[in-house]
Amino acid sequence: MNQKPAIDLSNIEYVFLDRDGVLNQKPSRGKYITRMEELALLPGVEDAIAALNRSGRKVVVLTNQRGIALGLYTQAELDRIHAHLQAQLAVRGGHLDAIYVCPHDAGQCDCRKPLTGLFEQAFRDFPEATPQRSIMVGDSLRDIEAGLRVGMATAMILSDDGEPTAEDDRAAALAQVSARSLSELVDRYFVSLRG
């Protein structure tokens, strides 16, 4: 993979994250996290989120949760999963400032990434947020495309699970930066945040 030129992310004040594959282990294709016991954070995530929090940056999750539309779990069950996630982050002094969820199936809404409805909700709730002061961190082409549609910087988290797909390669090529984990991304581009 070609090395991209280093970029300065010091102006970033809003870090938008996908959930599965960025914060926690991604379920296998066609599977969903339906209970809080199934949510396993990836190594270093708690410290990376806490470092972003200490820096004064807002950390916001934007997640497609099609499993609700499929009837595999309810919004209330997802809320319990996210409360558990917040509790796990809090152990290391971290927190998410907001979590936005698309519960729809494909073609039913304007919020399912790569569409931009979740970003629009976040920008309404955080009026000081702008695309120029934000980055979208994801592990899929739809995450990167969504961030680019809004006009923000993007970062691709590269999976170690098997061979990368053509979509993974395209996402990595489109993203301004890439890393093997959220922890590595914070270390590399927000290194002054670690304390």
Q: How confident is the model at residue 25 (pLDDT cuts 50, 70, 90)?
A: very high
pLDDT given for residue 135 in this prediction: 97
56-101 pLDDT, tens digit per residue, is 999 999 999 999 999 999 999 999 999 999 999 999 999 999 999 9
CB distance 154 to 144 below 8 Å: yes
Query: C-alpha distances in angstroms, 91 versus 52, 94, 111, 165?
Result: 15, 7, 31, 35
CATH class of 14-190: alpha beta
26-43 pLDDT, tens digit per residue, is 998 889 999 999 999 999
Count Cα atoms within 13 angstroms, Cβ side, for 62. Answer: 29
List active site positions: 18, 20
Residues in CB range of 34: below 8 A, 6 or more apart: 67, 72, 73, 77
Q: Where are the domains of the chain?
A: 14-190
Query: Partners of 179 in the beta sheet?
Result: 157
The distance of Cα 118 from the centroid of its chain, to the nearest Å, equals 12
107-145 pLDDT, tens digit per residue, is 999 999 999 999 999 999 999 999 999 999 999 999 999
Sign of CA dihedral 36, 155, 142, 171: negative
